[in-house]
Structure 1
Amino acid sequence: MKYLSFHILILLLFGGNNQQAFAERDTLTVGIYHNPPFVIKTEDNDFEGLSIELWENIAQSANLTYRYELYSDFVGILKRLEYQDIDLTINPMDVNDSRVNKFDMTQPYFISSIGVAIPYLNRSPLAVFISNIFSLAFLEIILLLIFVIFVFGFFLWLIERRHNKFQFRPGLLGLFDGLWWSAVTMTTVGYGDKAPKSNIGKAIAIIWMFTAVIIISSFTASIASTLTITGLQTDIKNAEDIRLAENISVVGATNSESYLVQENIPISKTYASPILALRALAKKENDVLLYDRTILQYYINRLSLDEKVKLLPFTLKENYQSFMLPKNHPAFDLINVGLMKEIQKEHWVDLQRKYDVKGK
């Protein structure tokens, strides 16, 4: 707080010339796009939201005149800022190295983070476990395991039936003897009731022993994954848990998409808007959705999805967000100081409560 007050004092002292020069400037053009709960376009084509009210308080205190210019998304705003066709944007823009080099970014006024949402599971863990046991994926693993056991058992019986006909009987019963030996060997039970006597049979047994160690480890992991993958949706606590989900969705061209790419986590579905993504999640078309936590919470409440979608209590990758202006804009100091004053007021806390907004 002391550092922030000192920063404001410095800007007031050294930014005076810029503020005075800007007093005679024309109306500011403020680029915005619909981005609840920060910027909300109402049915009567007016605007409200956390950033709107924050900006209007700053403009009123600094006696600034302005007009809003609506864009479809932040990409259009970035282009207009780069060409200096607009004076600033009040939508929360993530602070990063490339933007700081190209634009003037104010003191951050909000800290966002990536939220993780999952569909509510209306089944008990026991029901999830049982449904997975009888699932097609689990059945495929079991059938493949039986097939491998059968192949090695068949070859051993084929060799041993002439040399060891008491343990590996001829006909169908002997085939079962080979299957029994293969299963017992793979599981390392070692009853010793059946064992190869021929050299070729012993060679097959050695190969099967080493192969079985690898196979049983892989199959055990696959079975465990199949049995628990749905249950893990309720136990996601970090990025490593997210990797275990099969269908991960994001909203395109966002920090959540960049985060998953950076972490080498595959994305199953990309949506054009958070509304579409949340509705798909509510229908259980995806297992996990990553997007800005504040906006996710807003839409979950607004669309009455709180009984269908669960926002998990942890977050990923915090981002500081600011207003953004073209480089060396003459109004930067005036706006920046005004913003820092506003976010220190008790009214700023009230505004966040009004729009049910919590940072991080």
Structure 2
Amino acid sequence: GIGDGIWWAAVTMTTTGYGDKTPITWRGRAIALVWMFTSIFCIATFSATLASSLVVGRLKSSVDGPEDLPRARVGTVAGTAGELWTKAQGLKVQTYPFLIQASKALKRGEVEALVVERAILGHMIQEYQWNDLLILPQTLAVRDYAIAIPSGSPLMEDINRAVLTVTHHPDWKELVQRYVGQSEP
């Protein structure tokens, strides 16, 4: 009947009851069902807790913000605003020729943090799926980007209009998110 169907489904799901000793009475089966589902819940909870601890442990860094940088092993890319900022702060820093080397050093644990341009690192994280890297929310210094053209150039008005058109278009924030991996402030 229906009781046998429930029993068969439960023992199949919990991979028990392969012909070894099983309860015969409905009370015995009820107790066994409660025990099976309690065990499943306990194992699932234990697995979820263990997985969460491992992920948090792997992602947890000794650097939570700029105040931790003087005590940390810090890396940056040579010739960038990150290098200028770390030198201005008097930080002892390991410089790398390219962001790819700096990020590999971070992954290997040679450095605990990188000071690099948010937009460039955000793009690299998106492009190369560096999901194990975390960009902290603090901004160390704001650096504006510019387009250099000769003074009095007839192109200035066209370039200004093009930049304003693009940055005020409704898709602009989506493009920033896609290529840089963050929303525009």
Question: TM (normalized to structure 2)?
Answer: 0.60
Counterpart-to-counterpart distance in 2, 1:301 and 1:311: 12
Q: CA offset at residue 275 of structure 1? A: 1.1
- 1:322 is matched with which residue: 143, 146, 153? 146
Q: Deviations over 1:260-317 (max 9, x none)?
A: 11111121x211111111011111111111101122122223333323x332222210
Equivalent of 1:342 in 128, 153, 166:
166
Matches within 5 A, 1:72-221: 121-122=57-58
Q: Does 1:234 align with 2:62?
A: yes
Q: Match of 2:36?
A: none
* 1:340–1:252 CA distance, 2 compared to 1 (3 A): same
Deviations 1:234-277 (Å, cap 9, x if unpaired)? 35222x321011x211001111110111111121x211111111
C-alpha RMSD over aligned residues = 2.4
Closer, same or farther in 2 for the Cα pair 1:300/1:351, shift >3 Å? closer
Shift of 1:335: 1.4
- Determine if contact 1:294/1:359 at 8 Å carries over to the other structure: no
Amino acid at match of 1:298: H
- Residue 81 of structure 2 corresponds to which residue in structure 1? 255
Task: Tell me, yes or no, if the aligned pair for 1:249 and 1:289 is still in contact at 8 Å.
Answer: yes
Contact 2:75 2:114 in 1 (8 A): yes
What's the TM-score, normalizing by structure 1? 0.33
Structure 1 unaligned runs (5+)?
A: 1-119, 124-230
Q: Which amino acid aligns with 1:289?
A: L
Give, in whole Å, the separation in 2 of the partners of 1:121 and 1:266.
26
Aligned to 2:113: 288
Query: Residue 320 of structure 1: CA displacement?
Result: 1.8
Q: Among the aligned pairs, what percent are the same residue?
A: 22
Distance 2:81 2:142 in 1: 10
- Taking a change above 3 Å as real, the CA distance of residues 300 and 353 of structure 1, as seen in their structure-2 partners, is closer
Q: How many residues align?
A: 129
Q: What is the aligned counterpart of 2:102 among 262, 266, 277?
A: 277
Preserved CA contact (<8 Å) 1:249 1:277: yes
CA contact (8 A) 1:294 1:358 kept: no
Q: Does the residue aligned with 1:334 lie in a helix, a strand or coil?
A: helix
**Corresponding residue for 1:244?**
71
Distance 1:274 1:121, change over 3 A: farther
The structure with the largest alpha-carbon Rg is 1
On the 8 A contact 1:282/1:305 being kept in 2, the answer is no
Tell whether the 8 Å contact from 1:256 to 1:292 is kept in structure 2 after alignment: yes
Pick 1 or 2: higher relative contact order, CA cutoff 8 A, min separation 6.
1
After superposing the two structures, state which structure 1 stretch, 269-278 or 319-328, moved more: 319-328
> What is the one-letter code of the residue matched to 1:352?
V
- String of CA shifts for 1:141-162, please: whole Å, max 9, x gaps: xxxxxxxxxxxxxxxxxxxxxx
- 1:272 maps to a residue whose letter is P
One-letter amino acid of the counterpart of residue 281, structure 1: L
Q: Which has the higher strand share?
A: 1
* Superposed displacement of residue 332, structure 1: 0.7
How many Å separate the matches in 1 of 2:162 and 2:121?
29
Aligned equivalents of 1:253, 1:235: Cα separation in 2: 23
